[in-house]
Chains A and B, each alone.
Chain A
């Protein structure tokens, strides 16, 4: 979604373009809004944080001689009296991917200056995120009732609880922050802060623009991306 229009600079494609962009004695990320570049760098650092958690989980799980609790039994949920493995986790995945899709469409409609459609889609994303956090709260309280603690649990290796609460908790915290910002930005879109040249934002003299919705979208897709890895490594392993 770059809009590379640099006067007096010829944009080359591919790796040749990367070399000339980097060595141009100008801005390196041609046509990328500074906020977007900053969000990407934040997300890269966040990737390292989540990677450290998941790698320490791998190390902890791999190095214990005690038997690890079976995730498809621990996270099973009774549906009409029948235990279905990972039912709640599957629903949470479904909700998060749905909200990721509405966010992608919100970015598209934002760039098309379709204020109403963009606002409703951001709001739908926020509601999806809120549903996800609610389901996670239910999952946590269910496991706590069953006796799972950071220092031990009735199913197997004692490390299970600390990794579970740390990793899903940190992810859930990201989702919660995202939901707060999604509600704020849904308001800002509906209130027309990005229309007619844009309205001044908080603590800044800069005018708002629909690129902010794309930046918010990057964060939200990242939250979905992390869940893909958590789903694979924590629930399916």
Chain B
């Protein structure tokens, strides 16, 4: 596999397939990135199939089975493989459903931050002048706050809840995309192909989004993976503080908040949700490192 892609990557065929093969060649050189990708794929499958593979409903309370330990400990039952929480809900089922929330949060927040950041960044970079100055000062103001603090206060304004938490996090993550897009657009703007397109009669919108933007994508993709994992972490943190998803939602951070009072009595209600967050974020960050190596031409070993 690696050999054939290696040969393809050397060929000068500019087609999309060849570029993809070249990308995969560099990406798959990083073993961690491939492991991260597989874990991420597994998480997506779990999220999609959660209703089919979960042994119980995430909200079902078994009053005869509260705070049961995992099956390998004394008192554990095979029906509840990872034990139950304080009101007798199956931990495994709640964790499986929790994957849906975390991945949805990542996708939703990253999409909003990416699309908003690209539009604002392209405008700032393309027009320059006072428009650029105003936009960048506003971004500096947002970046002056620690992201979690600003998100926390925004949620306090908007009202606690998952939707508001996601909007707040997207707003806080978006300046990074603006900065990257602006910098890339400014460096591409003066190139010959842009001038050629302008002479050929392309309008500003086409120049901005069809001519220039596709050549600025590499850093944005890397930043998007970073935002994806940050979004999951921040949303879980807000859930933990009681300002994100509200109980009884099986969101991992919210589950941890509910479990806090049992930490010294029932280790499993605290350990598993956090482990799920860690594994998800770690898988995405592993992929992000691989993407950076594969997409950043400066780091490519020629």
Say whether A and B bind each other.
no
Q: Taking beta carbons and an 8 Å cutoff, which residues of B are in contact with A?
A: none
